[in-house]
Amino acid sequence: MRDKIDVAKNVSLVKNSHYSFPTRDAINFATDSTGTVIDPDKVKASQDEVLSNDAGKHKIKFS
């Protein structure tokens, strides 16, 4: 598997105004062009976190 990012398709959060979900926590694994597993912190996300008091669906793009 080369250049692949596998993430959870859905993450459910309990409403909590004191918690923000770090989007990179949804990453199961990521690999580079050689197939080597890379640190999830090196993956770019369109949004760094989701506030758990903001109800609704949030689409996050990873690259």
Q: What is the pLDDT of residues 2-57, one digit of tens each?
A: 789 999 999 999 999 999 999 999 999 999 999 999 998 899 999 999 999 988 88
pLDDT of residue 1: 64
Give CA–CA dist 8/26, Å, rounded.
5
Please give the pLDDT value at position 39: 92
CA distances from 28 to 2, 12, 38, 43, 56 (A): 15, 16, 11, 12, 23
The whole-number pLDDT of residue 3 equals 86
* Predicted pLDDT of residue 55: 83
pTM across the whole model:
0.79
CB 53 within 8 A of CB 61: no
Distance CA 18, CA 4 (A): 33
